Amino acid sequence: MYPEYMVAPIREDLTSAGFEQLMSPEEVEQAIKSEGTVLVAVNSVCGCAAAKARPALKMAVAAADKKPAKLVTVFAGMEQDAVAKAREHMLPYPPSSPSIALFKDGELVHMIERYHIEGNELNRIVDNLQGAFEEYC
């Protein structure tokens, strides 16, 4: 686990954009199983989260006509039980951070893994997210 003072500004990067920080498995379960669409961001201290994942999430949500009903995040390397619960719902995809998952009525409908983030251009990630929003939200 990382010191909280180190991750606080990284958490705030998403929470200030409207994402709810989930801290427990129960919060994750409740959010994912809720009716409608839920975007789950597995946040991370890594460079591709800072340079691509978080900016793409914020840009996609800000510019989309159709958006998920809920925006939530868990932090890899911190609340391990909450992250593990989120990843259970992301199966069969392997654990990946950062990663982004879209759920509709509790079912995984779209997944962006780390390799889709770190090896891609920012605008392509934004387009990918907005395409999923258009299709499922």
Catalytic pick from 17, 23, 45, 46?
46
Angle at 47 between CA 1 and CA 93, to 5 degrees: 75
Q: How far apart are CA 118 and CA 46, in angstroms?
A: 10
Greatest pairwise CA separation for the chain in angstroms: 39
How many angstroms from the chain centroid is the CA of residue 99?
6
Distances from the Cα of 70 to the Cαs of 115, 126, 135, in angstroms?
Answer: 24, 18, 16
| Whether 137 is catalytic | no
**Which of 45, 48, 59, 109 does the annotation list as catalytic?**
48
Could you give the residue numbers annotated as active site? 46, 48
